[in-house]
Amino acid sequence: MNTEPVHHDSAADPSVFDPEMQVVYSIDVVASLAGLDSVTVLHFQEMGIITPAASEPEPRYDDEALRRLRRIVHLREACGVNDAGIGIILPLLDEIEALKEERRLRFR
Amino acid sequence: MPATFKDYYAVLGVPRDASEADIKKAFRNLARKYHPDVAKDEPGAEDKFKEINEAQEVLGDPEKRKKYDLLGADWEHGSQRTEAQPGMEEDVHFGGTGFSDFFEQYFSGGSRYGFPGAAAGSAGGGGPQKRRGGDVEGDLLVSLEEAMQGTVRSITMQTVNRMTGQTQTNSFQVRIPPGAADGRRIRVPGQGEAGHGGAEAGDLYLRVRHAAHPDFATRGPDLLHDLDIAPWEAVLGADVVVPTLDGTVKLRIPPLAENGLVMRVRGRGLPKGKSGERGDFLVTLQVRLPETVTAEERVLWEQLRDGSTFNPRAAK
């Protein structure tokens, strides 16, 4: 709020982190960013926990998918949760987040 | 870094037992008064606007308000209650997010679920393990004008190691792309928790929170506005000039418009990505009734009553 509005043509300053609007990754890239192999990513996709942002012609994953994969890694490695547990926990986290969002919107 | 306690009730000028409606009303009035568009030349108006928004973010949400009330009681007794984030071996403080340190400490994020740290739960015991740092999440207060045009934010992040007390401060700038929707997360690689045993640092996810605006709300890329209209405007139709975030639109209210009718103006919402495409401007009609009537108006309403065939309770 304290900065001048900046338009896209001034995107030259290299010290400014410039997020891409709709960045997507191949399965190999998203897997390596999350510290997993692509078979494991597919496994969680089949469990319905990860959804690619696009599936044609090849599956593409966005930063939200990456965040979920990181969460999975954290649950598995730091918390010792198995796949069945992850299948319960992640949807619960989603639901909590959605409910919080709904509550926030209701009171504004 | 002890945050200073914020008296959100004083910020909004409402008593501690104010109703939800009172809080909403107080917020609307103040937001209108201090909105950057209105109070451009008034020094301190921008900070005030942020403060009002923050107060609304907490007091406008019953759950957060409850927490805040408990916190307030604690605070006055001097017991520093640090919100435990067991997932982290470090405490993280943000600057430049648009929220105060106090808000950051107690109400931000919303999605740090307190996973136990690796030290507590790692399967293989002992030995320095190579482990990637955890991801850190934080909220970023963005005004609708900023969301519309995009902006650059200077963020400072101070991490305090729980064990050693060592602090480290990182500063960086992040571009908020035009059209950044409420709830959208911006991933800043490598700005999360430091890695262990030489492993990579985690990432920082900054979640965009649109500041409440006295006139507009957003839903994804769509911009929402409630338009108050008179009963005769609803019945007879009318042309009304309505403000948007970038100029105005002329809206033709059709005759016999129902209360709550939503009218869509295509392409006048927030930008969608870089394509130049934009969301829509959605106007909800709210038929308002006068709070007082003059003697003349009363005569007119009476004529309407006597001459009208309308029966709202007729069996359909």
Q: Which residues of A touch B117 (CB under 8 A)?
A: 78
d(CA A18, nearest CA chain B) in Å: 5
Using DSSP's 3-state secondary structure scheme, residue B74 falls into helix
Point out the residue among A7, A11, A103 whose CB comes nearest to the CB of B61: A103
User: Global pTM?
Assistant: 0.75
pLDDT at position B77 over 70: no
Local confidence band at B112 (pLDDT 50, 70, 90 cut-offs): very low
Calculate how close chain B gets to A2, using CA atoms only, in Å. Answer: 8
For the segment B119-133, what is each residue's pLDDT rounded down to a tens digit? 333 444 444 567 788
Angle at alpha carbon of residue B94, lines to B109 and B97, rounded to 5°: 75
Q: What is the mean pLDDT of residues B261-289?
A: 93
Minimal Cα distance from A101: which residue of B? B183
- Residue B75 is predicted with a pLDDT of 58
Interface test with A, best of B56, B115, B171 (most A CBs within 10 A): B115
What mean pLDDT comes out for the span B44-73?
84
- Which pLDDT does position B250 carry in this prediction? 96
Specify the higher pLDDT residue, B278 or B34.
B278
ipTM above 0.90, yes or no: no
Mean pLDDT over B233-261 rounds to: 95
Lowest average pLDDT, out of A75-84, B262-271, B291-300, B301-310, goes to A75-84
pLDDT at B255 over 60: yes
- Parallel, antiparallel, or unpaired for β B204-210 and B136-142? parallel
Task: Report the range of poorest mean pLDDT among B68-77, B218-227, B265-274.
Answer: B68-77
Take residue B24 and report the two structure tokens written for it: 């909403």
Beta-carbon separation of B212 and A108 below 8 A:
yes
pLDDT(B60) > 90: no
- Does residue B86 carry a pLDDT above 60? no
Is the Cβ pair A70, B115 closer than 8 Å? no
Please give the pLDDT value at position A72: 92
What residues 147-206 of chain B have any CB closer than 8 A to a CB of chain A? 149-154, 172-175, 177-179, 183, 185-188, 202-203, 205
Q: Please give the C-alpha separations between residue B28 and each of A73, B15, B25, B44, B140, in angstroms, as whole numbers.
A: 44, 16, 5, 18, 21
Arithmetic mean of pLDDT, B266-278 = 89
Average pLDDT of chain A, as a whole number: 83
* Mean pLDDT computed over A70-85: 90
Identify the residue with better confidence: B162 or B196. Answer: B196
By the 8 A CB rule, do B240 and B250 touch? yes
The minimum CA-CA distance between A43 and chain B, rounded to whole Å, is 22
pLDDT of residue B201: 85
Share of chain B above pLDDT 70, in %: 84
Please give the C-alpha separations between residue B316 and each of B8, B234, B235, B306, in angstroms, as whole numbers. Answer: 50, 22, 20, 22
- From chain A, the residues in CB contact with B115 under 8 A are 74-75, 78-79
Q: Closest Cα of chain A to B96: distance in Å?
A: 9
